[in-house]
Structure 1
């Protein structure tokens, strides 16, 4: 075009686009771009879904391990409960003997007090006897 290009000083069109410039890109380019966009979106969504699936697998494994740990703890608790019950039964079977030991201890204490009294009385008696002997 004489006088220069569009947008340059001295140009004839003064910044107005021609009909040829307003034509949209060719159809295959748009289809190609859409296909590329959908492929990339599919890859992105596949990645997101894969990550989510992996998160759920991890949670599932953690739940299984936690469940196993709770089962182990339950078994341990059952064993502790059984052992405690056995100990309580043994203690109950020993209780009569423990009562007898307490009774014997009380009797020994009472006997000890009687022995001290008897010792004191015999010393008094001995002192009287010696006093009478001197007369």
Structure 2
């Protein structure tokens, strides 16, 4: 008997139907140290390390991008807050100005109502003066008419009256 045939492993493997070549390959793999990688496994590990580094870099960039977006959002919110404050101040000023103008308009309306009687009297006097001017103008025209008529009548009457006196 050979050494392989007499070993207990060979009898078990023969019983299980495994070939000697399969058992030899298994024995060779178990004898190798576990930290030695074959070429395919090495490139696979490098790829995994490379992927891990890329993933970490992408994650870092994503964090940086998210932080930048959040900072911009915070800056925008602060700007809006400042704009709201400025708008509020402006509307407060406009409101105060409107209240002041309302008070002044009320005073003016009250003054107008107080002077309305006097204004009406002035308008009445103006209308009467315009009527007096028209009447004066009409009287002037009529007096000029009468004077012109009187002048036209005098020469005929003065000749008639002057002749008897000379006689």
TM-score category of the 2 structures, normalised to the smaller one: 0.5 to 0.7
Quote the Cα distance in structure 1 between the aligned partners of 2:57 and 2:143: 122
Quote the Cα distance in structure 1 between the aligned partners of 2:73 and 2:134: 85
Of 119, 126, 140 in structure 2, the residue corresponding to residue 98 of structure 1 is: 119
Structure 1 stretches lacking a partner, 5+ long: 1-18
Q: Which has the higher contact order (CA 8 A, sep 6+)?
A: 1
Structure 2 stretches lacking a partner, 5+ long: 1-36, 162-167
Q: Deviations over 1:1-31 (max 9, x none)?
A: xxxxxxxxxxxxxxxxxx71232327xx479
Aligned partner of 2:39 in structure 1 is 21
Aligned partner of 1:107 in structure 2 is 128
Cα deviation, residue 104, structure 1: 0.6
**Deviating 4+ runs (over 6 angstroms):** none
Equivalent residue runs for 1:1-135 within 5 Å: 20-23=38-41, 24-25=44-45, 29=49, 33=53, 35-123=56-144, 124=146, 128=150, 131=154, 134=158, 135=161
TM-score normalised to structure 1 length = 0.64
Q: State how many pairs are aligned.
A: 116
TM-score normalised to structure 2 length = 0.53
Which of the two has higher C-alpha Rg? 2
Aligned partner of 1:9 in structure 2 is none
The structure with the largest helix share of the pair is: 2
Query: What RMSD over aligned residues (CA atoms) do the two structures have, in Å?
Result: 3.3
